[in-house]
Amino acid sequence: MGEKIAVIPGTFDPITNGHLDIIERAAKIFDVLYVSVLNNSSKKPLFTVEERMEMIKQVTAHLPNVQVESASGLTVDYAAKRGATAIVRGLRAVSDFEYEMQIASMNRTLNAEIETFFVMTNTKYSFLSSSMVKEVAQYQGDIRELVPEVVNEAVQAKFK
């Protein structure tokens, strides 16, 4: 077998320190890691796909084996196209578990060749989500501990 390739799909609206932690750790395990920004989300995003990709590129610039892309359609199809054998997802509190189990099980039904790997969040990010960041920032709360500085600036600009 050649390179071990994985994809880490998500909305990343915007990327938080929690996402970045998972990306950094997965990048140590896999030879190539595609961070794929999903544009088929039913959620109404604050940032465009391009803006989200740009922020991820900036904050993962120190990780040479990380590629940032956008993706639509089924994640297993995207993963297969990239030659990936794994989908990486982060797990926070118990509340993530049932949802992630559903997705992982559906993905296995769709393509049994692709394995889902869960990375446990660093406990300090257990309750950190993109929606929480936006909620706080909307009311001028301080999000500097929650997101990289470029993201902080971009979020502030959106709510100005």
Instruction: Compare residues 21 and 65 and give the one whose CB is closer to ligand ADP.
Output: 21
Minimum distance from CB of 48 to ligand ADP (Å)? 15
Label each residue of 62-87 as H, E or C.
CCCCEEEEEECCCHHHHHHHCCCCEE
**Among 6, 20, 22, 71, which residue sits at the site for ligand ADP (rule: CB under 6 A)?**
22
Instruction: Compare residues 2 and 141 and give the one whose CB is closer to ligand ADP.
Output: 141
Q: Which of 76, 53, 78 is nearest to 66 (CA)?
A: 53
Instruction: Tell me 88's DSSP state.
Output: E
What contacts 51, CB < 8 A, 6 or more positions away?
14, 154
**Among 6, 7, 12, 154, which residue sits at the site for ligand ADP (rule: CB under 6 A)?**
12
70 binds ligand ADP (CB under 6 A): no
Residues classed as catalytic: 19, 43, 92, 130
What stretches of the chain adopt beta strand conformation (E)?
5-10, 32-38, 66-71, 86-91, 115-120
18 binds ligand ADP (CB under 6 A): yes
Site residues, ligand ADP (CB under 6 A): 10-12, 16, 18-19, 22, 41, 89-90, 92, 96, 121, 125, 128-130
